[in-house]
Chains A and B, each alone.
Chain A
Amino acid sequence: MKYNTSLPDDTVNVSKQSPLLDLLWMLGGLFIGITFLYFTFGIAIEYGVKNISTEREIKLFSFLQPEHNSTQTPSKELLTLRTLLDNSKACQKSPYSFAVNIAEDKSVNAFALPGGTIVFNRGLLDNVHSENELFFVLAHEIGHYKNRDHLEGIGRAFTAMIIGNMLGFSDVSDILNSAMALSESHFSQTQEGEADIYAVELMQCYYHHVSGATKFFEHLPKDDSFSLYSSHPDIEKRIHNIEQYIKKRGYTANKELRSF
C-alpha cells in the first residue's frame, strides 16, 4: 500500500458563502417575520380584548396597577391627582376605579393604561399651571376609558413587548411604556374630540364651570417634538371644537382658576 501525501482541500468543509450576505438575508427574514407576528397577533389580541367586559379587563390588567409604597410619602402632585380623582367620583359614572401614577419622563404626555391606571409624565405636570388644567387632562384620559379607546393598539403593544422580551430586551416596563405611547399617538381625531367633550362635561359637573379647559394647550412648549399633544397638527382645531362645544352648551368659562 502506498501512502500519498496530500493537503486538505480548503473548499470541502468550509462554505464559501459571504457571511455579510448571509447576515443580511437572515436579518431581512427576521424583520419580515416580526412584522408579520406583530400585525397578526396584535390584531387578533386586540379583537379579543376590545370585546371583553370592564370587570374582566380590570382583573386581566391588574399587574399594571401602581404599587402602593407605604414607606415613601407620595409627592404633592400625586396627592393632588388622587384627591381630584376621589372628589370627582360621583361625576365620572365609570365602572373603573382609577389609579394615578407619575412617570419620570420629560415628554409632555399622559396615558390611559388598561385596567384604569392613568400615567402622567413629569413633563406634563411641569407644563400645567392650574388645577383646572390638570383636571382637564385627567378628565380627557377618563374620557378615553369611557369610549374604550385605551384598548386601541393594546394588542400590538403587548406583542411588541413579548417580541422585545424574546429578543432579550429585559426592561419590560420600558418597552410597554414606549409601546403604549405609540398606540396612544394613533388615536384618531374623532377619538380625541370625543374625549375632549367628555372632559368638558366632567369639568362642568365637578367645578360647575369650564374655565381653563383649553388653557393646557396654550402652555405647551412649541419646540417639543416628542410631545404628542403639541406635535398634533390639528391642535388649533381641537381648541376650536372645545370652544364651540362650550358655547353651544352655554357653560361659563371665565371663572378664576385654582392654583396648582
Chain B
Amino acid sequence: MIDLIVFLTLIALGYFVGSYLEKRHYQSIREREIQYASLPTIMLKKPLHPENIKESRLVNGSVVISIDYFKRLMATLRNIFGGNVTSYESLVDRARREAILRMKEDAKDADEIINLRLETSSISKNDQKGTIGSVEVLAYGTALKY
C-alpha cells in the first residue's frame, strides 16, 4: 500500500513538476532563439568565401537533460504497445535546441558557424532496471569571423 502511494506521488510529482519545468525551458529556448537568429548556422563543410576569413575556431555547446518519473512510465508502457514514444520527443527536442543555443553563445562574436554537427548519447547506470536515464546532446561547429 505504501509502495503504491510512493509510486503515485512520484508520478504526480513527475507530471506536474516535469511539465512546469519543460514549459519554462521552452519559453527560455524560444526567447534565445530569437536573440541568436541573426547568427547564420549552416552544415556546409567548407566556407563559401574562404578568402575573407580573418579568424576561425571550434565552438561547442552541450546539455544533459533527464527524464522524469512520468515520462519514464509513459515510455515503459510504450515498450509494451509499441508506437511513438511521444513523451521522449520533447526531451530530445529541448536537448537539441538547447545545445545549438549554447554553441551559438560560445560563438558570440562570430559572423557565421559552418560545419554544424550534432552528437547524442544516453547517460544512465548501465541498463539497470529502475535507473533514470538522461540524454546528452553535443553541438559543435566552426565559428568564422570575416
Contact = CB atoms under 8 A, between A and B. Distances in A.
A60 interface: no
Contacts of B84: 15
A13 B85 CA distance: 12
Contact of B33 (A8, A14, A15, A27): A8
A19 B33 contact: no
B120 interface: no
A1 interface: yes
Contacts of A14: 86, 89-90, 93
B74 A23 contact: yes
Interface in A1-33: 1, 3, 5-8, 10, 13-15, 17, 19-20, 22-23, 26-27, 29-30, 33
B16 to A, nearest CB: 11
A23 B11 CA distance: 11
Nearest to A6: B37
Contacts of B129: 168
Interface string A128-168: 00000000000000000000000000000000000000001
Contact of B81 (A1, A13, A20, A26): A26
B80 interface: yes
B48 interface: yes
A33 to B, nearest CB: 8
Nearest to B41: A3
Contacts of A168: 129
B34 A7 contact: yes
8 contacts: A5-B37, A7-B34, A8-B33, A14-B90, A15-B86, A22-B74, A23-B73, A23-B74
Given A19-B87, A26-B77, 7 more contacts: A15-B86, A19-B15, A19-B19, A22-B74, A26-B78, A26-B81, A30-B77
